[in-house]
Amino acid sequence: MAAADFTFTLHLFEGVRFDEMLSDLTRTVLRHVEYPKSSIAAIAAELRAGVAAGRTRGANCDVEFRAHGGELEIVVSQGGQRVYRTSHRLP
C-alpha cells in the first residue's frame, strides 16, 4: 500500500555532524515509506553526493521530503536556492 501524501521539512544547521544528520534523516524517511534496504542505500548515497557537490559549506540547509501522487521528491536548498533535487517512485 502506498504511503499517504505528506510533506516533511527540516532546517539543518551546518556543523560537525551535518553529513551524518542528513544521512540519518534520509534513511529514516525512506524506511517510513517502506523502501527496500537496497533502495535506501542507493538513494541516500545519491543524495549525499549531490548535496556535497552543490552546497556551500558553512551554510545551513533546508531539506524537504514530499510524497505526492506516488512519488517521493527530495529537495535540498540553501538560502532559498535549490542545491539538489531528486524524485523516486514510491514503493
Instruction: Report the C-alpha gap between 64 and 7 in whole angstroms.
Output: 7
Going from N- to C-terminal start, the domains of the chain cover 6-89
pLDDT, position 1: 45
Q: The whole model's pTM is what?
A: 0.88
Nearest to 66 by CA among 53, 85, 47: 85
Q: Mean pLDDT throughout 79-90?
A: 94
The tens digit of pLDDT for each residue in 14-44 reads: 776 888 889 999 999 999 999 999 999 999 9
The pLDDT-based confidence of 57 (bands split at 50, 70, 90) is confident
**30 φ/ψ angles, rounded to the nearest 5 degrees:** -65, -35
Nearest to 49 by CA among 84, 21, 77: 84
DSSP H/E element including 84: strand 81-89
